[in-house]
Amino acid sequence: MSEPLVIVGNGMAAARLVEELAKRALGRYAIAVIGDEPRLAYNRVLLSSVLAGEATSQEIELRSAVWWRDRGVTVTYGCAASSVDLAVRKVHLANGTDVPFSKLVFATGSTPLRLAVPGADLPGVHTFRDTRDVDQLLALAGAKRRVVVVGGGLLGLEAAYGLAKAGSKVTLLHLMDQLMERQLDAPAAALLKRLVESKGIEIVLDADTSRIIGTDHVEGVDLANGRSIVADAVVFAAGIRPNVALAREAGVPVNRGIVVDDRICTGVENVYALGECAEHRGTCYGLVEPAYEQAKVLAAHLAGNPTDYVGSVVATNLKVSGVSVFSAGDFLAAEGGETLVFNDERRGTYKKLVVAEGRLTGAVLVGDTQDALWYLDLIRTMAPIETIRGDMMFGRALAQLKAA
Q: What is the pLDDT of residues 350-372, one digit of tens each?
A: 999 999 999 999 999 999 999 99
Contacts 24+ apart (CB under 8 A), 280-287: 280/309, 280/311, 281/311, 282/255, 283/311, 284/242, 284/256, 284/257, 285/312, 285/314, 286/110, 286/240, 287/312, 287/314, 287/315, 287/316
Q: Please count the CA atoms within 13 angstroms of the CA of 219 that sit on its side-chain side.
A: 5
- Which runs of E-coded beta strand occur in 215-314? 218-223, 228-230, 233-236, 240-242, 258-260, 271-273, 278-280
What pLDDT does 151 receive? 96
pTM assigned to the model: 0.92
Q: For the chain, list residues with pLDDT below 70.
A: 142-143, 403-404
Helix (H) or strand (E) holding 92: strand 90-93
Residues forming beta bridges with residue 170, ordered by sequence position: 147
What's residue 360's pLDDT?
95
Task: Catalogue all structural domains in the chain, each as residue range(s) with its CATH number.
Answer: 3-109+243-303 (3.50.50.60), 113-239 (3.50.50.60), 322-403 (3.30.390.30)
Decide: helix, strand or coil at residue 350: strand
**3-state SS assignment for residue 45:** helix
Residue 331 burial by Cβ neighbours in a 10 Å radius (0-12, 13-18, 19+) = buried
What pLDDT does 93 receive? 97
- pLDDT value of position 404: 65
